[in-house]
Amino acid sequence: MQHHDFDAETFERKLAQEESALLIDVRTPQEYEAGHIPGAVNINMYDPAFSARVQELDKNRPVYLYCRSGSRSYVAAELLARIGFRSVFNLRRGIVGWTGPITQPASSA
């Protein structure tokens, strides 16, 4: 099984079409809190428990991954495909290339 890389427009369109899709932000919690794609779950790829956490997910559910530039999520997508996830999609260029909405952090004022 291999994963697929999509540009932002295709990624956003396909994600919207998949009701059961799981959107995973593989960045650090600090990066996630600074702004993320709405609906994303944060599973930090640098966390030693990353492999264990993704093993708990439903491998039949489509998984959409992103990071800052697309590098970490590419590696994560390769891992998920290798361990048996059926549909794995990576956001090419990461959140940097994302053109859709972003959840901004709450202001601390």
Residues noted as catalytic: 67
Distance in Å from the first CA to the final CA of the chain? 48
Tokens 């697309």 correspond to 70
Question: Comparing C-alpha atoms, which of 73, 76, 62, 81 is closest to residue 98?
Answer: 73
Distance between CA atoms of residues 56 and 67, nearest Å: 20
* Residue 33, token pair as written in the block: 């809190």
Return the bridge partners of 65, or none: 24, 90
